Amino acid sequence: MAQVHFVGAGPGDKELITLKGYQLLKEADVVIYAGSLVNPELLEYCKADCEIHNSASMNLIDIIDCMEKGVTAGKEVVRLQTGDFSIYGSIREQVEEMKKRSIPFTCTPGVSSFLGAASSFGVEYTVPEVSQSVIITRMAGRTPVPSRESLRSYAAHQTSMVIFLSVQGIRKVVSELIKGGYKPETPAAVIYKATWAEEKKVTGTLQDIAEKVTEAGITKTALIMVGDFLGEEFYYSKLYDKDFKHEYR
C-alpha cells in the first residue's frame, strides 16, 4: 500500500540527508517540499517523472489533499521537511489531519540545523565543567511561547542555548538574555543557512552580536547560539583518559 513519508531534509547541504531519506526521495512518485527552507538541490535526487510541489504556496488542507490524492492513486509520497521535523517542523498538524483521513505514513528523521551549525563552527555544546545541557528555544512571535519558557527564564541556567526563528528580533533577544542572567561578555554567534553554500557566520558576545548581525544584513533563516561553549575556556573530558578506559573496559 502506498504511503506518505515524512523526511527530514537535513540542515542544507544536500549530502547531509540520511541514506534512508535519500532512498525515499529517489523512489518517490510525488514530493511536497517545504519551499525556500529546503535546498532545491535535493530535488536532483528525484526521478525524472516525479511530481514535485512547493508547499510555500499551499495551505494545510492543500498539502493533505495532495498527499491523499497521491496515496489513493497508489503513489509513494514524500513530504520533505527542513532539518529534522521534530523541531519546529509543523508535523503535528499534518499528522492529525492525515489520521482523520486514515492516510498511512512513516517518519524518517533528519539532521537538525542546530547540529549543522555546531559542526560548521567546530564546537561541542556539552563541554565538561562548562555546560552539560542544551536549551533549544525561540522568542515569541506570531506564535506565542508559554510564559514559563521565556528567554529570560531560560537564561538563568547560563547553559548552552540555540535560539530558532528569532534573528529578526536579535536586539530584544540579547536584552532578555542579559536580564535573565547571562553576562554581556558571554560568547554569542549567529549563523545564516548553516551548511548551505551561502552560509554566513557572525561571532561576538552578547554585548556586540546584535550590531554585527545588523551590519552583516542577516534578517532571517539564521540561528542564534549563546554560551561559554563558544569561548576559549574548556576542560577535557575523561573519555580518552587511559585510567578511565581501563576502569570501564
Q: What span, in angstroms and rounded, lies between the C-alpha atoms of 52 and 59?
A: 16
Report pLDDT digits (tens) over 141-156. 878 888 899 999 999 9
Q: 77-81 and 4-8: which strand pairing?
A: parallel
pLDDT class of 140 with cuts at 50, 70, 90: confident
Dihedral sign, Cα of residue 175, residue 85, residue 110, residue 193: negative
Q: What is the DSSP string of the chain?
A: ---EEEEE-BSS-GGGS-HHHHHHHHH-SEEEE-GGGS-GGGGGGS-TT-EEEEGGG--HHHHHHHHHHHHHTT--EEEEESB-TTTT--HHHHHHHHHHTT--EEEE----HHHHHHHHHT--S-BTTTBS-EEEEE--SSS---GGG-HHHHHTT--EEEEES-GGGHHHHHHHHHHHT--TTSEEEEEESTTSTT-EEEEEETTTHHHHHHHHT--SSEEEEESGGGSS-----STT-HHHHHHT-
Name the residue among 182, 188, 190, 92 with its Cα closest to residue 143.
92
Dihedral sign, Cα of residue 70, residue 72, residue 75, residue 76: positive
Cα torsion 204, 88, 196, 177 to 10°: value is 0
Cβ within 8 Å of residue 23, ≥6 positions away: none
Q: What's the pLDDT at 176?
A: 96
Of 158-167, 213-222, 226-235, least confident by mean pLDDT is: 226-235
Q: What's the pLDDT at 147?
A: 86
> What is the grid cell recorded at 41?
538541490
Report pLDDT digits (tens) over 194-229. 999 999 999 999 999 999 999 999 999 999 999 999
Q: Tell me the pTM.
A: 0.90
